[in-house]
Structure 1
Amino acid sequence: MRFDLQHTDTRSSARAGVITTDHGTIETPIFMPVGTVGSVKGVFHRDLEQQIGAQIILGNTYHLYLRPGTDILERAGGLHRFCAWDRPILTDSGGFQVFSLAGCRKLTAEGCRFSSHIDGSKHLFTPENVMDIQRSIGADIMMAFDECPPGDAPYDYAARSLDLTNRWLERCFERFARTAPLYGHAQSLFPIVQGCTYRDLRSRSAEFVQQFDADGYAIGGLAVGEPAPVMYEMIELVNGILPRHKPRYLMGVGTPVNLLEAIERGVDMFDCVMPTRNGRNGMLFTSEGIINIRNQKWRDDFSPVDPAGCCFADTTYTKAYLRHLTVSGEMLAAQIASMHNLAFYLWLVGEARRRILDGSFADWKPGMVEKLSRRL
């Protein structure tokens, strides 16, 4: 994997670059639709490519390990072939999913024992077998196995958690170095910076991960309940330490405003379930603000879903029709809303990129943040 930094904004830390993988290039800043089990919920790959403009999608190690399983993925030739997606894929290590099973897991120095949310069966994730699983999946970018502590974790817990994550990271890279890709394309391994909202722990983590000279670095454990200003403070701190010539991935974030604030602070890559999950519940993100399509006010609004839309669904269907589908519980409502939100997120990061390159990002961003914060 290669990262070419093309331009940095003169009045902020916002950057534009290009990531090159064996499955294609990714223009940054970029938002990555979440395809947890090998699909972005309710969206055809054709539409991900042609309407939404997705350049890379995510899979999740925990979910793909449980279903369909690594045996099926290997027989299929990896996730790319299994789900018919020929562009880049990133896999989360499953650490966040495992550790969210607070009542169904046991954490030790070896790894994490947990019970499947599907059938209650017992499993063990270690840094070593999580690397093996991600080799079987075949993602272009693999994530290290870490512990994601609660956002309100006390300092002592956060410090112990970080020490464990660092020990696991060493084992991840040892296993990664001793194994090879299975499907003829290169794979990269990103470490994850942790440390909750404690400046010294975040700094220590950002310094520690650099010894592995990875192709890129992730920032985890944010947007888990801490105030937004604190999140931005942690991002700024960490990005001031991480290498300038490597991509930076902020995991699981977030709202359109979060994206712009993080881009301003030097983040290159994002993912979040919010566009699809909130879309399925009737929330639409637009360049003029946020719409709750369930509201009565849209009942007889026959204007397009988004007149400045980024995909065909925005101008083909009306707000009244989408509201009708949503309150009726029709599957098409979730599809339209998901497509719209994803297309909007990709438009937003693409517009930010364009503004960074032409030098207008710092002038454009404050007004955009104001619009994105409105409730329509």
Structure 2
Amino acid sequence: MSAINSIDLNQLSNDIKAWGHALGFQHVGISDIDLSQHEQHLVKWLENGYHGTMAYMATHGLMRARPAELVPGTLRVISVRMDYLPPDASFAKHLNDPNMGYISRYALGRDYHKVIRKKLKQLGEKISARLEGTAYRPFVDSAPVLEHAIAEKAGIGWTGKHTLTLSKEAGSWFFLGELFINLPLPTDTPVEAECGSCNACITICPTDAIVAPYQVDAKRCVSYLTIEYDGEIPEELRTLMGNRIYGCDDCQLICPWNRYSSVTTEPDFHPRDKLHGQSLLTLFSWTEEEFLKYTEGSAIRRIGYAKWKRNIAIALGNSPYSSKTLDALSESLGKVDQNVDVHIKWAMEQQAQKSIASTSENRKHQRLVRTVQKGLPRDA
């Protein structure tokens, strides 16, 4: 690329960041492609089987830490941050209501893959228009890319003990995206890690999925179980999932750095009424056609109707006893597939046990009332 010799790369770097901000990214950083320091951690994570059934993680192996193998000719990676915290998150209200379906806040609006990829492509076009011969390729959580390691090197933030990227200015309520590019742009300086001795995210995890600082066993993670995993969720984990039907935000909710988070400026990430604050019974009642309609353009759609029903069935099993719940579960048996039925039957057993316990408590209460009444004066 002879044109590189005639351009000020420092100025181009500044322009790229300005263009990125204009497109709606809150932070744009640039890193080199040397991720060798992360290779051993990746290898150990895979050897421990922490990737669960995500076979593609092992298939691509160390390519994740070698950008130039993924896209030959890559010299730099432009890393971007886009905030997604919705204006009406209602975290506590929804998590504390066992009859309500809790959906991870990143998935309440439009699919972030589509939103960010489009903007990254526009950024690449602007760079290409400025410098002929520029080659670029955008990625948004869709290829073997170590996005958190790249964000770390690009100065976006540091990797927290929950393995998410953290920023002093924005906490962790943001998406990451990458633009692989063949230009030797000046790189940004990484920021220092600021987790210190805090282990709040490890302590709060409902399923103990953060097995050690900076290590997550996906097989126990609610996000993995409700989104990536197709099979039968282990019984010992079902009760721990509570009313979380798609993803989990607990490790972010407890993080002290998230007090500095800002509400998103991107309307596409605002919650959809059909998904936000709905009862479990309402969501469970959706037909497949309704599921596809209400999740059109949403990241949720990719899990499919069967996993949607499976996840909600577990949450219904964890909800307080209700004859309506038991009826809804019973009526759904045999309507989707065998795996869903396994979880529906489990939920029905949980509801039945709660019904017996409730009846027993009611009888004990009635006996106590009668005993007290017998000892009262006639005119009491």
Q: TM-score range by the shorter chain?
A: under 0.3
The structure whose Rg is larger is 2
Structure ranking higher in helix proportion: 2
- Give the structure with the larger strand fraction: 1
TM-score by length of 1: 0.26
